[in-house]
Structure 1
Amino acid sequence: MRASRLVTLLLLLQNRGRMTARQLAEELEVSVRTVYRDVEALAAAGIPLYGDAGHAGGYRLLDGYRTRLTGLTGDEAQAAFLTALPEAAAQLGLGEALTTARLKLDAALPTALREHAGRIRQRFLLDAPGWYGDADRAPHPHLAAVATAVWERRAVLLRYRRWRAPEEIERRVEPYGLVLKAGRWYLVAGGASGLRTYRVDQILGLRLLTEDPSTAPPAGFDLAEHWRAHVADFRARLHTGEALVRVTAEGARRLGLTRSGGDEWTEARVPIESVEHAHGEFLRLGADVEVLAPAELRERIAATVRKLAARYDAS
């Protein structure tokens, strides 16, 4: 651990120039006292760095000195592909490796390109999770085990919660890849039931089957291509029905509809995924929508509204 920290400290000074002990401590997430000890260790090892006293002082390397410790480790190479997703890297246990990999990549770049890369990091940021998702919570406890199975091509015994009966199932699956979509992790895996996608936060239990031989995806399998096809199929199945509704101007706006006239109420046909899903979606619009058809959806919303009216009237 300390050797890794010393390399990181050295790369920080090489990439950024003069840094105070406090700045280094914040970057390395250690105490200032620890920075002092690390600097002494580097100096004793023959690294040409020195400190300047005073308010504008700090540590820096001798002009012209560049370390050659820029080769990436296995973890750092994996983390390098997640440089735009630091939160994802942290959830996979690669946060520290990502930091070191980025420093090594910076150190290997010519000065002009390193400055350009720095400007990009200052001006652009990718924040993948949606506003109202729950992606800010702690990573799922089984994510690390799933990632291990993917890295090592190991089959797992999966206990999983799904939406249809039976709600809890157990399957032996062969993990082929992990996908991060809108702040949620999905496992793409093969098994007796074919190629399936599993939400990692719905995994109830997982056991790595180390006694099984290593697994491999089918010939020609491409994770990105598979995911694009999966998303396209999901969208094709998303809206298989239709509802006839009356909406106010506000309701039309919230549904993303273009109004055909200036009347207060407008009739429109809206694609729906299912009666169950549409029930919740239309209730969110409150008095700005009236469902005319299908009858099942209208009756279900009416029943819910009666229950709500009775509850609030009683209270």
Structure 2
Amino acid sequence: MRASRLVTLLLLLQNRGRMTARQLAEELEVSVRTVYRDVDALAAAGIPLYGEAGHEGGYQLLDGYRTRLTGLTADEAQAAFLTALPDAAAQLGVGEALVTAQLKLRAALPTQLREHAERIRQSFLLDAPGWYGEADPVPHLPVVADALWSRRAVLIRYLRWRAPEEIERRVEPYGLILKAGRWYLVAAGPSGIRTYRVDQILEVRMLDEEFAVPDAFDLAAHWSSSLADFHARLHTGEALVRLTPEGVRRLGVTASGDGAAQDGWTETRVPIESIGHAHGEFLRLGADIEVLEPVQLRDRIAETVRTLAARYEA
């Protein structure tokens, strides 16, 4: 552990230049006294660094010195692909490795490129979750990720929406996907390749059984196909509606063959999930939409509007 900390301290000085003992202690999450000991150890090992006292003082390396300790460990290499997702890296259990990987990557770059990379890091942030709702707890994600990296099967106890709600299943992890702040596991099981919500995993145990992902499997292509299939099964109906220009913009649809009417309204057909779901979605558009078909949906919206009118008149 100390050896790793000494390397991190050295890389911090190489990347950032002069730093005080307190700044180093905050970065390394140790005491100032520990920093003093670590600096002495580096100096005893022949590292050309020196310290200056005073308000503007601190530790720094001699000009021109660059460490060759820039090789990445397996964890750091994995974390390097998550540099824009610090929260995701922490959930996967490689948060500390991410910090070290970033330091090593910057240390390996020429000065001009390192400054450019630092500007990018300071100017770009990816915030994956949506605005509403807190992130789902995923206590079993590190174990699932570990099994994925090591290509070992897992035994999961999983909570699903249909009966039987709790199932136990042996699966082979093929990939992890972070979608809108929610983690999904793509894995092969007794019924083929399926997608599991990681927050719905109640228990997981890594097995000693190793497996190989088929050469023909492509995670991105599989996920794209799964999403297309999901939307196809989700929108099983259709509604004929009239929209104002604002309604067209908010619903994000194009006109049907009938085109726009003379009064400025656009008539078009849109896919719907169900009468109940469409009822709620269309009411959000207020007076910018008129439902023509199906009759059940039109009648249901009309009844809601009459109820609201009576309530507000009262």
- Do both proteins adopt the same fold according to a TM-score greater than 0.5, normalized to the shorter chain? yes
Q: Secondary structure at the match of 2:195?
A: strand
For normalisation by structure 1, the TM-score amounts to 0.83
Report what 1:34 is aligned to. Answer: 34
Tell me if 1:153 matches 2:151.
yes
Q: Tell me which residue corresponds to 2:238.
A: 242
Please tell me whether residue 218 in structure 1 is matched to residue 214 in structure 2.
yes
Query: Do 1:176 and 1:216's aligned partners in 2 also have CA atoms closer than 8 Å?
Result: no
Residues 1:162 and 1:76: Cα distance change in structure 2 (over 3 Å): same
SS at match of 1:210: strand
Give the root-mean-square deviation of aligned CA atoms: 3.0
Question: 257-266 or 33-42: which moved more?
Answer: 257-266
List aligned pairs for 1:33-52, cutoff 5 A. Answer: 33-52=33-52
Count of paired positions: 309
Contact 1:72/1:101 (CA < 8 Å) preserved in 2?
Answer: yes
Residue 183 of structure 1, CA deviation: 1.8
Provide the C-alpha distance between the structure 2 equivalents of 1:309 and 1:141, rounded to a whole number of angstroms.
Answer: 48
Residue number in structure 2 paired with 1:19: 19
Task: Classify 1:110/1:306 alpha carbon distance in 2 versus 1 (closer, same or farther; 3 Å).
Answer: same
User: What is the one-letter code of the residue matched to 2:157?
Assistant: R
Residue 144 of structure 1, CA deviation: 1.4
Change (3 A) 1:73 1:307: farther
Q: 1:168 to 1:246 in 2, by over 3 A?
A: farther
Change (3 A) 1:124 1:209: closer
Amino acid at match of 1:159: R
Q: CA deviation at 1:217?
A: 2.0
Residues 5-47 of structure 1, C-alpha deviation per residue, up to 9 Å, x if partnerless? 2211110101111112233233223343433333233223332
2:252 to 237, 256, 273: 256
SS in 2 for 1:180: strand
Aligned residue for 1:90, secondary structure, equals helix
- Between 85-94 and 213-222, report the one with greater CA deviation: 213-222
Cα 1:278/1:162, change in 2 over 3 Å = farther
Q: Distance in 1 between matches of 2:227 and 2:139?
A: 26
Query: Tell me, what secondary structure is at the counterpart of 1:187?
Result: strand
Give the SS at the match of 1:190: strand
Shift of 1:74: 1.6
Equivalent residues of 2:80, 2:102 under 8 A apart:
yes
Structure 2 letter corresponding to 1:173: V
**Partners in 1 of 2:68 and 2:58 — Cα distance?**
23
| Residue of structure 2 equivalent to 1:97 | 97
1: CA distance between counterparts of 2:67 and 2:21? 20
State the secondary structure of the residue aligned to 2:152.
coil
For residue 10 of structure 1, what is the amino acid of its counterpart?
Answer: L
Query: Which residue does 1:144 correspond to in 2?
Result: 142
1:112 paired with 2:108, answer: no
Distance 1:147 1:282, change over 3 A: same
- What SS does structure 2 have at the residue aligned with 1:41? helix
The 3-state SS of whatever aligns with 1:189 is: strand
What is residue 3 of structure 1 aligned with on the other side?
A: 3
Q: Which residue in 2 is equivalent to 1:272?
A: 272
Residue 170 to residue 309, structure 1, CA distance change in 2 (3 Å): farther
Paired residue type of 2:168: E
Partner Cα distance (2:26, 2:299) in 1:
60
What secondary structure does 2:178 align onto?
A: strand
Please state whether the residue corresponding to 2:192 is helix, strand or coil: coil
Distance 1:216 1:261 in 2: 59
In the alignment, structure 1 segments of 5+ residues that lack a partner are: none
What 5-or-longer segments of structure 2 have no aligned partner?
A: none
8 A contact 2:157–2:168 mirrored in 1? yes
Query: Is the 1:176–1:217 Cα contact (8 Å) retained in structure 2?
Result: yes
Secondary structure of the residue that 1:197 maps to in structure 2?
A: strand
CA contact (8 A) 1:133 1:183 kept: no
* 2:53 alignment partner in structure 1: 53
Asked whether the equivalents of residues 187 and 194 of structure 2 are also in contact (C-alpha less than 8 Å), the reply is yes
- Per the TM alignment, residue 76 of structure 1 is displaced from its structure 2 partner at its CA by 0.9
User: Which residue is 2:65 aligned to?
Assistant: 65
Moved more, 56-65 or 41-50: 41-50
The aligned residue for residue 87 of structure 1 is 87
**Where does residue 123 of structure 1 map in the other structure?**
123
Question: Percent of pairs identical after alignment?
Answer: 78
CA pair 30-113 structure 1, distance change in 2 beyond 3 A: same
Match of 1:201 in 2: 199
Post-superposition offset of 1:263 = 4.6
